[in-house]
């Protein structure tokens, strides 16, 4: 590995190693997001897909299949399936969260309307199921159908847990396992299943995706408060304003004095947020060390992801997946 390679982010190295397949995935996505009768569908989809997401999930599927020696064409279909499920979820999430920005651009619900986002999301879900049937593998279908149900369940759980100070770390783990890790673990697991890998390898791929997804979401939730050092940037505090019970807050609430608890009740449960409240929230998180504790949990999940890979055959892509697990948590520092 040259110095140059070392300087590249793990995500970019994966993209380089999978460049030909990712071109095929992107071509398939463009082909399947079309609609004979309703031009609104490709308009809305292209707005989101061409905004340049990281394509992390389809790369996981491609890498998992190749690490297990797959040489057929259908990992491309499953990678596109996974990206369609992800895109459909984003469209619906932005409606549910009433978001106005995504990937640095106005959201589809803002540019068009909520109706278009709901219905185009439904279309992409249906397209994802069409795509996955093409691999003609019942076990793959089961994994992806189950993941879709778990994702929706996680989103509903997040909705009902929002603003509820009684939310426990266990509930938080269920939410992020659902809304994030379920698609990561399905993405990697189906790669192994498609390749006809040994059960140990399939299980290892599932566990890698699960732990990677959890680490990824914990890091995201920590970064929303500026990371472990709580550096406030332009996107800091979105979760605070939306009154989401993420791990740094859950831990701060659990450690709160009576007076601190009154603060959390006011800003999260009652939604009465005033000038300086985000700073006060950060002060309490620092006081109780909840940002560092969240970082430590994310690092532990990242390590668990890396350890899972030991059950897989040696392969350059396996090493990149390992580096990726290190990278998603290194973002926090």
Residues near its own copies (CB under 8 A): 35-41, 92, 95-96, 114-116, 118-123, 125-127, 129-130, 133, 136, 138, 141-142, 145-146, 148-149, 151-157, 159-160, 174, 178
**Cβ nearer to its own copies, comparing 129 with 327:** 129
CA 164 to chain centre: 23
Provide, rounded to whole angstroms, the least separation between the CB of residue 131 and its own copies. 9
Nearest distance from residue 45's CB to its own copies, in Å?
Answer: 11
Least Cβ distance, residue 274 to its own copies (angstroms): 26
Among 298, 171, 288, residue whose Cα is nearest residue 224: 298
Instruction: Transcribe 150-189 into DSSP letters.
Output: HHHHHHHHHHHHTT-TT--HHHHHHHHIIIIIHHHHHHHH
Distance CA 269, CA 174 (A): 21
Beta carbon nearer to its own copies, 136 or 229? 136
Which of these, 135, 151, 119, lies nearest to 41 by C-alpha position?
A: 119
Nearest 5°: phi and psi at 260?
-65, -40
In whole angstroms, the minimum distance from the beta carbon of 114 to its own copies comes to: 7
- Min dist. Cβ of residue 139 to its own copies (A): 10
Smallest separation, CB 240 to its own copies (Å): 19
Residue nearer to its own copies on the CB measure, 167 or 308: 167
Token pair 């019970």 in the structure block, residue:
245
Contact of 149 with 141, CB cutoff 8 Å:
no
Residue closer to its own copies, measured from CB, 20 or 145: 145
- Whichever of 178 and 237 has its CB closer to its own copies, that residue is 178
Give burial (CB, 10 Å; 0-12/13-18/19+) of 23.
exposed
Q: Please, which residue, 91 or 281, has the CB nearer to its own copies? A: 91
């Amino acid at each position: 590995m040259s110095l140059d390679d070392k300087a590249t982010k793990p995500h970019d190295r994966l993209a380089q190693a999978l460049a030909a397949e990712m071109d095929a995935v992107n071509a398939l996505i463009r082909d399947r997001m079309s609609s004979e009768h309703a031009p609104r569908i490709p308009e809305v989809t292209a707005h989101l897909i061409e905004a340049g997401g990281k394509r992390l999930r389809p790369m996981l599927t491609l890498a998992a299949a190749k690490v297990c020696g797959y040489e057929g064409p259908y990992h491309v279909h499953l990678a596109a399936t996974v990206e369609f499920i992800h895109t459909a979820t984003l469209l619906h999430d932005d409606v549910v969260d009433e978001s106005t920005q995504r990937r640095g651009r106005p959201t589809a619900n803002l540019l068009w309307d909520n109706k278009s986002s709901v219905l185009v999301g439904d279309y992409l879900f249906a397209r994802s199921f069409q795509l996955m049937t093409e691999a003609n593998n019942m076990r793959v279908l089961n994994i992806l159908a189950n993941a879709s149900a778990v994702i929706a369940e996680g989103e509903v759980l997040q909705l009902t847990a929002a603003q509820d100070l009684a939310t426990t770390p266990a509930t938080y783990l269920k939410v992020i396992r659902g809304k994030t890790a379920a698609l990561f673990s399905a993405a990697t697991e189906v790669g192994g299943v498609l390749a006809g890998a040994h059960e140990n390898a399939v299980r290892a791929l599932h566990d890698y995706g699960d732990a990677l997804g959890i680490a990824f979401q914990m890091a995201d939730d920590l970064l929303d408060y500026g990371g472990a050092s709580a550096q406030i940037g332009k996107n800091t505090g979105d979760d605070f304003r939306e009154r989401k019970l993420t791990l740094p807050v859950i831990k701060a609430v659990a450690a709160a004095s009576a007076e601190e608890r009154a603060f959390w009740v006011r800003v999260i449960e009652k939604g009465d947020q005033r000038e300086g409240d985000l700073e006060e929230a950060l002060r309490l998180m620092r006081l109780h060390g909840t940002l560092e504790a969240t970082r430590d949990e994310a690092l532990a999940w990242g390590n668990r992801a890396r350890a899972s890979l030991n059950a897989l055959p040696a392969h350059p892509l396996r090493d990149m997946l390992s580096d990726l697990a290190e990278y998603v948590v290194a973002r926090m520092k």
